[in-house]
Amino acid sequence: MLDEYVWGTAERVSPEAPVLVLRAGPNTAVPGGAANVIACLRALGARAGLVAVSGDDAAGSALGARLAELGCDPLALVRDSGRPTTVKTRILAGNQQVVRVDREDRSPLPPLVAAELQAATEQALAGCDSLLLSDYDKGVLTPQSIPPLVAAAKARGAFVSVNAKPHYAAAYAGVDLLTVNRVEAAAISGLSPTDLPSAAAAATRIGEQVGCPLVLVTLGPDGAVLWQAGTGAQQVPPVSVPVFDPAGAGDTTFATLHLALTAGAPPREAAALAMLAAAVVVRKVGVATAAPAEILALAESG
Contact 255, 40 (CB under 8 A): yes
Nearest residue to 228 via CA among 214, 212, 208: 214
Q: What is the pLDDT of residue 245?
A: 85
Classify strands 130-134 and 159-163 as parallel, antiparallel or unpaired. parallel
Contact 254, 132 (CB under 8 A): yes
Q: Give the burial class of 264: count Cβ atoms within 10 A of its Cβ; 0-12 exposed, 13-18 middle, 19 or more buried.
A: exposed
Domain locations in the chain as residue ranges: 34-84+107-301
Rounded-to-integer distance, Cα 168 and Cα 172, Å: 7
Q: What is the pLDDT of residue 50?
A: 96
Q: What is the pLDDT of residue 65?
A: 95
- pLDDT per position in the chain (302 positions), as tens? 999 999 999 889 999 999 889 898 889 999 999 999 999 999 999 999 999 999 999 999 999 999 999 999 999 999 999 999 999 999 999 888 889 999 999 999 999 999 999 999 999 998 899 999 999 999 999 999 999 999 999 999 999 999 999 988 999 999 999 999 999 999 999 999 999 999 999 999 999 999 999 999 999 989 999 999 999 999 999 999 998 888 889 999 999 999 999 999 999 999 999 999 999 999 998 889 999 999 999 999 87
Q: Give the burial class of 187: count Cβ atoms within 10 A of its Cβ; 0-12 exposed, 13-18 middle, 19 or more buried.
A: middle
Classify strands 50-55 and 20-31 as parallel, antiparallel or unpaired. unpaired
**The model's pTM:** 0.93
Q: What is the pLDDT of residue 95?
A: 82
User: What are the phi and psi torsion angles at 293 (to 5°)?
Assistant: -65, -35
Rounded-to-integer distance, Cα 130 and Cα 128, Å: 6
Buried b (16+ CB within 10 A) or exposed e, 161-173: bbbbbbebbebbe
CATH superfamily of the 34-84+107-301 domain: Ribokinase (3.40.1190.20)
Q: Give the burial class of 234: count Cβ atoms within 10 A of its Cβ; 0-12 exposed, 13-18 middle, 19 or more buried.
A: middle
Q: Give the burial class of 235: count Cβ atoms within 10 A of its Cβ; 0-12 exposed, 13-18 middle, 19 or more buried.
A: middle
Q: What is the pLDDT of residue 209?
A: 93
Q: Which positions are annotated as active-site residues?
A: 251
Which residues lie closer than 8 Å to 209 by C-beta, 6 or more apart? Answer: 169, 170, 188, 189
Rounded-to-integer distance, Cα 110 and Cα 265, Å: 40
Q: What is the pLDDT of residue 94?
A: 86
Q: What is the pLDDT of residue 11?
A: 83
